[in-house]
A and B are shown apart, each in its own frame.
Chain A
Amino acid sequence: MIYLHLFLSYLKIGFFGFGGGYAMISLIQNEIVVQQGWLSNTQLSDIIAVSQMTPGPIAINCATYVGYLVTGNIWGSLLATTAVCIPPLSIMLLISMFYKKLKSNRYMQGVLDWIKPMMVGMIGAAALLYMNKETFIDWSSILIFAGCFFASWKKINPIILIAIAAVVGLLIY
């Protein structure tokens, strides 16, 4: 049963995951933490951190990790990763086939105009969800946040930032 739920959940995440990895975080959080209760918020946030430090798309990394944690074996990983890829693969294939027609379609443009603010809202929700007591434990964590925000705004590589934050964590905690 858990395999069926895992498959359906990640199929849903793949299907509604507009806006790329960061927007998908709030979708994953809602599905995995709020609705299914498979992981805690902190567990998911740590998985996101690991996903950012390892190569590959965040959504794929996350699916592989959650699939393993929930079932305790490789098949869960394989199932979740496959499920999250099926909708983008099929939808993007259709788009590639009808690319010329879609490009000039005004309905497509109308839908995109309305989906765009939703995507930004989803990314915003992901950020707000993790601005909690587990993340901000003291003044140092607020300083780390501010420093990383500034550095990332200046387009400093995220892996370097996470590595520095890890070292700072080791030094002060």
Chain B
Amino acid sequence: MTTNLLRWIPLLPLAAAVLNVFFGGRWGKRFAGILASAAVFGSFLIALRVFMLLSPDAVLRDTLYTWIESEPFKAQVSFQADALTAVMLLVITGIGFLIHLYSTGYMAHDEGEARFFAYLNLFVFFMSVLVLADNLLLFFVGWEGVGLCSFLLIGFWYEDPANTTAGNKAFIVNRIGDFAFLLGMLLLFWEMNRLGVPSLDFAALKDAAARIAPDTAVLITLLFFIGATGKSAQIPLYVWLPDAMAGPTPVSALIHAATMVTAGVYLTARLNFLFVLAPYTLSLIAIIGAATALFAGTIAVAQNDIKRVLAYSTVSQLGYMFLAAGVGAFSAAVFHLFTHAFFKACLFLGAGSVIHAMGGEQDMRKMGGLRRRLPATYWTYLIAGLALAGIPPTAGFFSKDRILLEAYASPHGSLALWLVGWITAGLTAFYMFRQLFLVFHGTSRAPESVQAHVHESPAAMTIPLIVLALGSIAAGWLALPSRDVWDPWLQAVLGRSNPAEHGEAVNETLLVALTVGIALVGIAAAYFLYGRERRVREDGPLWGTLAQKYYIDELYDFLFVRPFTAAANWLARAFDPGIIDGAVNGVAGLVRGISASGRRLQSGNVQHYLFAFLIGTILIFVYWLRR
């Protein structure tokens, strides 16, 4: 089915971004925010319309023009929307709109508001291109474009070097992933060419996937997965995301929690037909996902910055999504992506509201007792926190429970994977409620001057919080055991995964009980240790290692950054001027030396030179003519 509706989903925010770039400084700040929000709301309405038009096995297409053509290669600027795209679009534009709305309040005092909204709109543009692309190359435009926006927004407050360093780190680490992604595309294209289908269109890939050589499929999927570890912050490329918290908090909510960082998960889901051909890659994805979930979860426990806890939590939750994808449960992965978008956006915006109220303070040790002063923030935070912890009947319960079930019972699952996920579930509940108690309960540890100014945020900020909190509960009900609408909706795109059918028989009730049980234990432990006042000394070597994030940044610095910089430095300061240019100047010096001895030949008389030149040329001529 063709339509020209799809193009307007990215184009509206793009147009608003362009307008704000050129006229943002001229019209008032207020208008910049309104324009940007309105554009995203427009995209949301179109996305809704698209959703209505679709049925689970239908695809809408909107082709604009041929972008790059070099026979046999061809890539079009062409959009497609199927059931999976529709879900992503609703998240991006729906939650995106709420965050734009929130930002009109959050950024109201910032002089760069027009620039902020231009970047934010540009992000929505690229993100919707990413999910709407009907071929890998256009997908890559969105993929790198969101990376650009991430770079721009992390470094939005550019005067602080910490922010811009974090922005660079994010872009460069992502580029390492993109390096692999690019190679994946090159390999995939020539493999497709070999099969007689020279194309990177998803539809063509899906048709030809089964004919791809098995080893090549493993290599291609591995390369794409490395790309995904960059964008979606998995081991070993996760290191940029915690630093990315330097950006304004709405950015953390939209880009670094709800949407952009899920692009890697979306990629594996979109290419699920390719990944299922590579069991080796799938098990690696499951292992990396589980390991990242646990690893980041332990770090989150020991962070004191309110946003860093959430950042590591995001890394950990993305790990869950990859765990699901790795065991072949793509639908469960996307389901967690969907619910996570609500509650994590809610948590970040709530954190923003707290930071806003505390005059910019982000250290949880200087907070406490905010429950009564910020009631709307508190209640929404609590709901989203329960969802993150996986307590029924919130959305997080349903999606996490599904992942753990699949991790155990799917044909690719195992007890070990489940166990890691299960332990992480306990950790998640613990660090979430440690944060909740430290921030909102107990007594305030803030200085008097800050306490005096604590105030609940304006409606532009609390309304999005309330909507997201409601979503954090209700989003999970799409997959009630009794009435599951989620799986049937995505079945045509993501395939079926029903562990009860082909896995060993499992006692689902027992698994659910265990999962909820460990979450409750985590909350109880957090209450015991932090409920009223902090009852535990946060020190010792283990705590220090966690607080210092296992020293991974230092390790990377030692292993990669320093040797590379030293090598570059040697090339630039010694090798290039000394050896390469030295050789050139050496030759020149040699010539000068020889010619000095023959200076008598150099009479300085141009006629002599011309004569010698002529003779030489003639000699060469004669030589070749006589041969």
A and B found bound together: no
